[in-house]
Amino acid sequence: MTDDLSALISETEAALAASTDLRTWDAVRVAVMGKNGSLTNKLKELGKVAPEERRTRGAALNVVKDAITAAIEARRAALDAAALDARLAAERMDVTLPPRPVVNGLIHPISRTMEEMAAIFGAMGFAIAEGPDVEDDWRNFGALNIPAHHSAREDMDTFYVPALEAGGRRRVMRTHTSPVQVRTMIAQEPPIRVIVPGRTYRADHDATHSPMFHQVEGLAIDRGLTLGHLKGCLIDFLRIFFGISNLPVRFRSSYFPFTEPSMEVDIGWNRKTGELGGGGDWLEILGSGMVHPKVLANCGIDAREWQGFAFGMGIERVTMLKHGIPDLRPFYESDIRWLRHYGFNPLAAAMLHEGV
Ligand code: PHE
């Protein structure tokens, strides 16, 4: 082999060895084997070689070409392998490391209470009913036996919705969930058993009142329902909800326009410690009563055939009592520290106390 060819091989091998990535490797390949490459030019010049030398020169060039092709491919393979090794090293992970804690979203205490109520009353055969937050005056008041100018309207600090007054019946932000009693009785044939969790609105704002809050309504309509059914239902609910099997429950005569008789319900607690149970003090917790015959009539139900009981309670209030939450306002502030403290793990099984 002539000197120029040996030199070409050794130069190419040196250049390949010096190439450290695909870009420099390709530059070497093009410089030697490309259209204007050093080896390509030597092959082109073969025609000019004297005929008697052409065979040996041609054979030598072929040997050189094979050697250089092999060297280029070998370098390419080596660079690819090195790149893969580097990538594997860079992407290596330690599967023995403990997992990072996953921050799950938590269930808001209001949602949690609603879920628990749905579970407890659901087990007693109550379905969930819903209605709109913007109600007409008739369903919020009139059908519930609260006439115009009745003091209950002022008690409830109603938000009226002026834009909607013009076109007919006056609208209000519902001041309680009781209008859904009316909707349900009009839409469904008795027997009826529903609870209605939802938002309610009153123009009131301080440490214990929010202009928007939540209630759950209960309504049962059937033949032969009595105060005994109402009492049994609420005593069972309260004992299961608060998880205190002997929670004292007291029914105190009261007044609501839409129930007769009406009763407020108190549970036992200790005023000094705030602890629920047999502490000797009483805490008002909900309103209830037998559905007023006028309300049944307003909703097209014959009061001689059907009787019913109803109740309503504040969801924030029972939630605060159950979990010892002292202030109402943070319920609506979306403060992540409060939510982490009082929120519930969504993956934890829904609480079902014995008896449900
Ligand atoms: N709607 C009443 C309130 O908001 C509660 C209630 C509901 C009372 C059903 C009796 C029956 O105070």
pLDDT digit string, tens, across residues 161-200 = 876 555 567 889 999 999 999 999 999 999 999 999 999 9
DSSP string, 18-63: H--SHHHHHHHHHHHHSTT-HHHHHHHGGGGS-HHHHHHHHHHHHH
Cα-atom radius of gyration of the chain, to the nearest Å? 42
Determine the pLDDT at residue 155.
65
Residues of the chain with pLDDT under 50: 352-356
pLDDT recorded at residue 353: 47
pLDDT digits (tens, 9 = 90+) for 256-283: 999 999 999 999 999 999 899 998 999 9
Contact 250, 266 (CB under 8 A): yes
pLDDT of residue 100: 83
Q: How many CB atoms lie within 10 A of CB 45?
A: 11
Ligand 1 pocket residue status of 288, Cβ below 6 Å:
yes
CATH level 3 topology of 109-349 = BirA Bifunctional Protein; domain 2 (3.30.930)
Ligand 1 atom with the shortest distance to the CA of 200 = 4
Q: Whose CA is nearest to atom 4 of ligand 1?
A: 176
**How far is Cα 198 from Cα 213, in angstroms, rounded to an integer?**
8
* pLDDT at residue number 346: 82
How would you class 311 by CB atoms within 10 Å of its CB: exposed for 0-12, middle for 13-18, buried for 19 or more?
buried
Instruction: Give which of 122, 149, 146, 151 is closest to 135, Cα–Cα.
Output: 146
Ligand 1: distance of its center to the CA of 350 in Å?
27
Best residue for ligand 1 mutational test, from 199, 252, 256 (most atoms within 8 Å of Cβ): 256
**Domain extents for the chain?**
3-90, 109-349
Residue nearest to atom 10 of ligand 1 (CA): 288
Is the pTM higher than 0.85? The answer reads no
State if residue 312 touches ligand 1 by the CB under 6 angstroms criterion.
yes
Q: Are 252 and 263 in contact (CB under 8 A)?
A: yes
CA 209 to ligand 1 centroid distance, Å? 16
- pLDDT recorded at residue 350: 54
Q: Which two tokens stand for residue 203?
A: 């123009």
Q: Is the CB of 287 under 6 A from ligand 1?
A: yes
Closest residue CA from atom 2 of ligand 1: 312
Rounded CA-CA distance 88/320 in Å is: 55
Ligand 1 pocket check: which of 155, 234, 258, 299 to mutate, most ligand atoms within 8 Å of Cβ? 258
Q: Is the CB of 176 under 6 A from ligand 1?
A: yes
* Beta-bridge partners for 287: 264, 312
